[in-house]
Structure 1
Amino acid sequence: MRKLLTVCLGNYCRSPFAQIALTRRYGAAVAVRSAGLIGKWQDQPANPSMINAARRLGLDLTPHRAQQITLEMLDWADSVLAMDSAALETLQAISGEAHARKLGLYLRDRDVPDPMGQRDDAFNDCAVLIEAGTALHLGRDLP
């Protein structure tokens, strides 16, 4: 079973949606967790606009509770998928060489735009992009 960890800034929008989208796509072939670089929303539900975007795509994000990344999470994961370049740079700085080979961008060569502070259509577009990106993550060697 492949173990994937999705990471964004706060574990409030993008990474929790990626977690449920990857789980739906790959089922028992993966174990997926998500985390944020900061603990601002620790133990809080996902952003309401992202919950609604998930619902539009047939996914339920309501059980999610945000959590801040730990070294134990990095140890657990086979692959750590950052939602954007800034998150990837932070992950590289905090994880050091021990986890360097595991780190990569969720969309390989581009960022998933952060919808925070934007209208609902930005959350919907973000969710569609993340869901489409699920096809990139199984059956290939990931960082």
Structure 2
Amino acid sequence: MRKLLTVCLGNYCRSPFAQIALAHRGGPDMRVRSAGLIGKWQDQPANESMVKAARRLGHDLTGHRGQQITLDMLDWADAVLAMDASVLDTVRAICTQANEPKLALYLGNRDVPDPMGQDDAAFNDCAVLIEAGTALHVGRPSQ
């Protein structure tokens, strides 16, 4: 079983959506968790605009509650996927040497733009980009 951890700044928009998109595509052979670097949205639901964007793509984000990243989460994961280079740099600074090889950008060589403070169209574009990015981590579509 493969275990992925998606990480963004607040676990409020990008990483929660990546979590459900990867879990859906990966099916029962994959476990996916998400976390944020800051605890501002700890135990809070996902951003409403991202919930709507997720719904348009057939995913339900209503059960999400924000979590701040922990060293236990990093240890748990087989791969830690940061939504942007800034998040990746911060995770690198807090992780152990053993976890360093697990770290990567979600889209491989580019950032997933943060839609915070923008309109619903930016959230939709972000969700579509994250959904397309699942192909980088899961070789087969969900059943």
TM above 0.5: yes
Q: CA deviation at 1:6?
A: 0.1
Q: Does 1:5 align with 2:8?
A: no
Q: CA deviation at 1:138?
A: 3.0
- What residue identity is the alignment partner of 1:11? N
User: For residues 64-143 of structure 1, what are the structure 2 equivalents within 5 Å?
Assistant: 64-139=64-139
Q: CA deviation at 1:55?
A: 0.4
Q: Does 1:42 align with 2:42?
A: yes
Deviation per CA, 1:65-122, whole angstroms, max 9, x where unpaired? 0000000000000000000000000000000312110000000000000000000000
- What residue identity is the alignment partner of 1:133? G
Q: Normalising to structure 2: TM-score of the pair? A: 0.96
Secondary structure at 2:98's aligned position in 1? helix
- What residue identity is the alignment partner of 2:73? M
Identity of matched residues, %: 76
Q: CA deviation at 1:57?
A: 0.4
Distance 2:25 2:73 in 1: 22
Name stretches of at least 5 consecutive residues in structure 2 with no aligned partner.
none
Q: CA deviation at 1:131?
A: 0.2
Q: Tell me which residue corresponds to 1:15.
A: 15
- What residue identity is the alignment partner of 2:59? L
Distance 1:11 1:59 in 2: 17
Distance 1:121 1:27 in 2: 28
Q: Normalising to structure 1: TM-score of the pair? A: 0.96
Q: Tell me which residue corresponds to 1:56.
A: 56
Secondary structure at 2:97's aligned position in 1? helix
Distance 2:73 2:23 in 1: 17
Deviation per CA, 1:48-75, whole angstroms, max 9, x where unpaired? 0000000000100000000000000000
Moved over 4 A (4+): none
Distance 1:11 1:38 in 2: 8
Aligned length: 139
Distance 1:29 1:136 in 2: 16
- What residue identity is the alignment partner of 1:85? A
Name stretches of at least 5 consecutive residues in structure 1 with no aligned partner.
none
